[in-house]
Every structure is written in C-alpha cells, then in structure tokens.
C-alpha cells in the first residue's frame, strides 16, 4: 500500500458542520413542544411544510449552481434556516406565506450571496422581514394561547395551512401588542386589565421563552457557540428595561423580566443572534454585537412601529458585524495591547 502524503495535522476533532446544525435542530425541540402545547399544531405544521419547501429550494439552487446535491444537503443548514423561520411565523399561517418566506430565506438571502457561509444577513430573519413587510396582516395574526381561547385541533390546523379560506381562526393581541398600544394605564393596572399577561411575561410566552433558554443552555454546554453574544444581548435588553421601567408608570416600557420572557427574546438570543455566519467573529466583537442587538430590540419594541423587534435588530447588526470585527481583533500572542504595535 502506497503511503499517503498529507500535511499536518493528521488528527481531526469530532466536530462537524452537520453535527453543529443537528445540535441546533435538537435544541429547538423543547421550545417547539411548548409552543405546540400553548398554540396548537400550527407551529408543527409550519415546520414540517417549511422544511420540505426549504429542501426543495436548496436542491433547486444547488442544481442551478451546479453543485453536488448530496454533499451540500447533508450539512442540514437549509433545514435549520427553515425551522428557525417557521418557529418565528404565527401558527396557522397559510401555506403560501410559509413558502414565500422559506423561498426568500434560502434563495434570496443565502444562495444569491453564494450559499452557506457567504451570506451577510441571517437568512431566517430576511425571510421573516420580507413577510412582515409584505403581509403584515397575516404576520401579526397570533392565536390566543391555551387558557385564553380555544386551541384548534390537528385537522383544523391542517386546514388553516392548506385551505386558509375555509379556516375561521381566532386571533388575539400579543402581550407586546398590548403594551405598545397602552398610553394611559399604569403597568400594574395593565397587568390586571388584560388576560394576556402572566406571572412574569405573557401567558404561554413565558414558558416558551424558558424552553428556548433551556435549549440554548444545552447548546452552550455542547460548545456549539460561546456565551458572549446571547448573554450580552439579554443583559443589555434587561438593563435598558430596568433603566426605563419608570416605576411602572403609564409611560413605562415594561419590566426587565417581562422583556426577557416575552416575545422572541430567548429564541432570538440563542438561535438567531448566535448564527455564526452573520455575527461578529471575535469574542469581544460578539459582546458588542449582542449588546447592540439587545439595545435595538428594546428601542424598537418600546419606540418603534413594530411590536417585536428581534428580526430588525439582528439584520441591522448584521450590517455592522464586519465593522465590529475590524475594531475588535484580539491581541495576538506576543503583541502589545495597542493596535498596530508589536
């Protein structure tokens, strides 16, 4: 047998891109289960249908770009994008909304830029924002959580997706909507007046957030990503909420705990902000990147036109990531702290 001629290193670690993606998929399970418990089968149907569309789009794009299908499909990145987008979509979304969103994510945000690794913007969030701007009605139609209204059964959910005209769904303002529209109530009164508010955040939402937090903690444990960006984002969001809580007055932006456990906060922190491709690279850079996203989320939630803000905050910071990287190069071994000196 001829001896192989290879350069070092000859050993390789256990980590693979496929494994990274699979871990992310696995970590969404608790969050998806809690979502399904509170809002019914809508989310699950979203995910299954969205995943199928994503694989189709990915295969189409790879064929057009003359890339080997099997090699690229098995990295699971398209699946991750679809699952993340579909979790963010309202349950009981019509099929065309899902298809349009997934197609935007895979084709527009990913393959137009050169495929995995080359996209400057988070594909799932690009898909989400395309839908939010194009179809604001469908995108803000959230079902009431279990306990505040009826939860549709599996067949109803299927009908909602594939025969939207025949589905008569009930929608309800989310806690963030309620807070946004409030201009006269003290926080305490708002809490007692509206059934949407739970113990810490929104009813159902607080558990959804805790579930995503658990999934994120597991990913941290598995060393899929570092703590820097998500923790920085949560801290800056909580900090701003604390500063502008204003004692719970009618002008208050809501309590820190409310912000941490409502809307897409935890999902964003551990599944969107941590997207390696589009975030800052150095550890210090990730701290800045995460903190600025947290700040933007708070500002948009409280002052902007949209009730939730993760998608916009992330996309804006995607722009800034290369800039942040430029200024946060780590100090190389044997170099002095100042840039440009050795």
Partner 1 sequence: MRKIFDFHGGIHPPENKQQSLRSRIAKAGIPPELIIPLSQHIGAPSHPVVSVGDRVLKGQVIAQALGFVSVPKHAPSSGIITAIEDRLIAHPSGLVAPCIVIATDGRDEWLTHQGYPNYTSLEKPELIELIRHAGIAGMGGAGFPSAVKLSVRDDITIDTLIVNGTECEPYITADDILMRERADQIIEGAKILHYLIEPGETVIGVEDNKPEGIAALRAAAKGTGIEVASFPTKYPSGGEKQLIEILTGKQVPSGGLPSDVGVVCQNLGSTVAIYEAIALGRPLISRITTVTGDAVREPQNFEVLIGTPMRYLLAKAGYQAEKNNRLIMGGPMMGFTVPDLNVPVVKTTNCLLAPTALELPAPPPAQACIRCGMCAEVCPASLLPQQLFWFAQGKELEKLEQHNLFDCIECGACSYACPSNIPLVQYYRASKAEILHQREEHEKSEHSRARFESRQQRLEQEDAEKEAKRAARKQAAEERARAGGRQGDDDPIQAAIERAQAKKAALQSDTGKGNELQKLEQAVVTIQKRVDTAQAKLKQAQAEGSDLVDALIAGLEKTRVKLEKAEQALQIFRASQPAAPTDTATVDAAQTAIRKAMTARQAEAEMSPEQRAKTNLTKLEQRLQKSREKLEQSRQTDQEDSIIEALESTVERLTAKVEAARQAMNTATDS
How many residues bind partner 1 (CB under 8 A)? The answer is 43
13, 70, 166, 247: which one binds partner 1 (CB under 8 A): 13
208, 252, 277, 308: which one binds partner 1 (CB under 8 A): 277
Structure tokens at 36: 């399904």
In the complex, least distance from residue 231 CB atom to partner 1, rounded to whole angstroms: 15
* 7: contact with partner 1 by CB under 8 A: yes
In the complex, least distance from residue 224 CB atom to partner 1, rounded to whole angstroms: 8
Pick 150 or 322: Cβ nearer partner 1 = 322
* 10: contact with partner 1 by CB under 8 A: yes
Scanning the structure block, which residue is given the tokens 């670690």? Answer: 13
Residue 214 burial (CB count, 10 A): 16
In the complex, least distance from residue 36 CB atom to partner 1, rounded to whole angstroms: 29
* 6: contact with partner 1 by CB under 8 A: yes
- Using CB under 8 A as the binding rule, the residues of this chain from 286 to 325 that contact partner 1 are 286, 325
Among the candidate windows 30-38, 263-271, 278-286, 305-313, which touches partner 1 by CB under 8 A? 278-286
* 122: contact with partner 1 by CB under 8 A: no
137, 184, 334, 338: which one binds partner 1 (CB under 8 A): 334
Report CA 271 to chain centroid distance, whole Å: 5
57, 79, 116, 292: which one binds partner 1 (CB under 8 A): 116
Contact criterion met (CB below 8 Å) for 173 and 148? no
Among the candidate windows 49-57, 114-122, 133-141, 238-246, which touches partner 1 by CB under 8 A? 114-122
26, 69, 251, 283: which one binds partner 1 (CB under 8 A): 283
State whether the Cα torsion 217-218-223-229 is positive or negative. negative
In the complex, least distance from residue 207 CB atom to partner 1, rounded to whole angstroms: 30
* Cα pseudo-dihedral 246, 252, 255, 260, rounded to 10: -130
* 1: contact with partner 1 by CB under 8 A: yes
Query: Which residues, other chains included, contact 16 with Cβ-Cβ below 8 Å and sequence gap of 6+?
Result: none
How far is the C-alpha of 295 from the C-alpha of 192, rounded, in Å?
28
Q: Which residues bind partner 1 (CB under 8 A)?
A: 1, 3-13, 15-17, 19-20, 71, 75, 77, 115-118, 223, 225-226, 276-277, 279, 281-283, 286, 325, 329-335, 342
């Amino acid at each position: 047998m001829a001896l192989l001629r290879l350069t070092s290193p000859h050993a390789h670690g256990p980590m693979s891109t496929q494994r990274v993606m699979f871990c992310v998929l696995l970590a969404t399970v608790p969050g998806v289960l809690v979502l399904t418990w509170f809002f019914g089968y809508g989310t699950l149907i979203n995910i299954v249908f969205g995943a199928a569309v994503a694989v189709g789009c990915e295969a189409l794009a790879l064929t057009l770009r003359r890339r080997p299908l099997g090699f690229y499909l098995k990295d699971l990145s398209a699946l991750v994008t679809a699952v993340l987008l579909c979790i963010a979509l309202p349950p009981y979304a019509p099929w065309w909304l899902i298809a349009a969103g997934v197609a935007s994510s895979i084709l527009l945000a990913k393959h137009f830029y050169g495929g995995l690794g080359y996209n400057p913007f988070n594909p799932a969030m690009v898909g989400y924002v395309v839908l939010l701007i194009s179809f604001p009605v469908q995108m803000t139609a959230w079902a009431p959580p279990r306990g505040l209204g009826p939860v549709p059964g599996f067949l109803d959910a299927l009908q909602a997706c594939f025969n939207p005209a025949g589905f008569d769904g009930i929608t309800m303002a989310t806690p963030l909507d309620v807070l946004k529209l409030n201009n006269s109530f003290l926080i305490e009164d708002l809490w007692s007046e509206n059934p949407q508010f739970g113990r810490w955040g929104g009813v159902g939402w607080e558990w959804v957030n805790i579930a995503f937090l658990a999934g994120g903690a597991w990913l941290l444990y598995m060393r899929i990503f570092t703590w820097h960006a998500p923790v920085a984002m949560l801290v800056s969001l909580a900090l701003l909420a604390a500063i502008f809580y204003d004692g719970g007055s009618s002008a208050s932006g809501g309590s820190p705990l409310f912000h941490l456990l409502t809307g897409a906060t935890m999902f964003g922190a551990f599944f969107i902000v941590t997207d390696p491709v589009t975030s800052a690279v150095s550890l210090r850079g990730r701290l800045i990147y995460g903190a600025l996203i947290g700040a933007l989320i708070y500002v948009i939630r409280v002052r902007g036109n949209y009730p939730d803000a993760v998608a916009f905050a992330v996309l804006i910071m995607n722009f800034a990531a290369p800039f942040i990287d430029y200024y946060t190069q780590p100090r190389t071994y044997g170099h002095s702290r100042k840039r440009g000196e050795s």
